[in-house]
Amino acid sequence: MTQAPYVVPMEGERALSTDLKITRDGVSCTDPVWDALNRDPEGALWEAWTGLPSGKPVYAAELHPERQLIAMESLLCAGCKQEADRNELGMLWVLPVLDHAEDTVWEGVRTVTPPMCEACASEAKLRCPRLREGWVELRVREAELVGVRGTLHPRPGSNADPDPDALVLYDSADLPFVVARGLVRELANVTLVAAGATVS
């Protein structure tokens, strides 16, 4: 693993404040150039970040959107940006145990966490606060791109508040109204290899 995990934000980096407008067609940036530069091929608008990675890694719930996109799209290791590990059971994923539920069914789980190489997986179990509380090591034969996670904005005229942590599938009518922060893959043909916790 590099000095800091590739997809983890660093001190000095932050989300870029942008002026958004919401119409019946969806959410967009008032700057059309910025808007065009931050849309993915499926049409989702992505949150942009700014700043220099000048400090320590910030182990928070959010990953760095641009680096997460690169790693998840190309199936690169979340720690070092090299190729993720593969064997006869599939690609290596290390995920936090959801709500400490040991009986979680991992088949069909949707995640924004990219896969890992063996070396980074071992280190991540020690360094990542979420993994220290409980982790599973999976081998995955299929991991289809299914959508994005981000802030879903209500349609004009609605009294609803934005949903800051929405999963929006690519075939959803909500896709034009989301500002994405993470690419989502659905894991299939999953083998649970190991599970544990670094701290009690």
> Which tens digit of pLDDT belongs to each residue from 112-140?
999 999 999 999 988 888 888 889 999 99
Tell me phi and psi for residue 73, to 5 degrees: -65, -40
Give the pLDDT score at 39. Answer: 92
Q: Per residue in 63-115, pLDDT tens?
A: 999 999 999 999 999 999 999 999 999 999 999 986 555 566 899 999 999 99
Helix or strand run (H / E) with residue 140: strand 135-152
Distance (Å) of CA 47 to CA 28, 37, 83, 173: 11, 11, 25, 19
Distance (Å) of CA 75 to CA 19, 99, 135, 153, 195: 32, 26, 20, 29, 22
Residue by residue, DSSP assigns 41-61 as TTS-EE--EES---S-B--SS
Q: Per residue in 24-47, pLDDT tens?
A: 999 999 999 989 999 999 999 999
Of the two residues 78 and 59, the one the predictor is more confident about is: 78
